Amino acid sequence: MAEIKKTVAKTAPAPAALKKVATAPKKLIPRSAPTVAVKPAVQPATTVAAKPVKKVDVELEAINARNKKALSAALEKAQAVKITQPLSKPASTKLEKPAKAPKAKKVKLVRDSYAMPEAEYAQISVLKKRLAGLGKEVKKSELLRGGIANLTSLSDTQLQAVMGRVERIKTGRPNK
């Protein structure tokens, strides 16, 4: 039993240790965070070479500056223009739109080829030049259509007389 008493005495807390546990903790005092040295993001100017200014950038800036000046001058002129309203404007009169004419049916165009003597073909360019001198430029197809319109307006006897003067040619493609 003596041994048991000794072990109990050894395991029992000492009165001084109980006092330390029972006392209230000290008040906490706030501290500032420790300062950390930060490396500069930009290296010193002595180690980094400066980029040369491009010639294109300078020219573009000059062009942009000129354009801005021109635009501002044009804007000032536009703002200086005074638009006046007519003095006698009927307030209640509404403009009626004219009735739209029905669209004419589109005429189908036909392409065709023909043969004629060189002398008559040269007359087409002579007639075109003559009309151009009179202030009316025409195309070859317009000139030929005008000739056909003139022929259709003739009477039967006149048409026979005109067509009698036209030389009959052999049709088909010429030999090379």
Residue scoring higher pLDDT (5 or 34): 34
Cα 90–95–98 angle (5° rounding)? 155
Domain ranges of the chain: 138-166
Closest Cα partner for 123 from 143, 95, 96, 94? 143
Question: In the predicted model, what is the mean pLDDT of residues 75-89?
Answer: 73
Q: Count of alpha carbons within 13 Å of 90, Cβ hemisphere only?
A: 4
Average pLDDT, the chain: 75
User: What pLDDT was estimated at residue 106?
Assistant: 85
**Residue for token digits 């003596």?**
2
Report the SS3 class of residue 96: coil
Structure tokens at 159: 């048409």
pLDDT at 60 over 90: no
**Per-residue pLDDT, 122:** 93
Residue 24, CA distances (Å) to 19, 27, 28, 30 in order: 10, 9, 12, 18
pLDDT score at 69? 87
Who contacts 159 (Cβ-Cβ below 8 Å, separation ≥6)? 151
Question: Who has greater pLDDT, 88 or 8?
Answer: 88
pLDDT in tens, 113-129: 888 888 889 999 999 99
Q: What string of DSSP letters covers 48-67?
A: SPPPPPPHHHHHHHHHHHHH
Q: In this structure, which amino acid lies at residue 162?
A: V
Q: What is the rounded average pLDDT of the residues 69-73? A: 86
CA 16 to CA 172: how far, in whole Å?
Answer: 138
CA distance 137 to 74: 40
* Average pLDDT, integer, range 36-50: 57
Mean pLDDT of the 123-149 span: 92
* Local confidence band at 15 (pLDDT 50, 70, 90 cut-offs): low
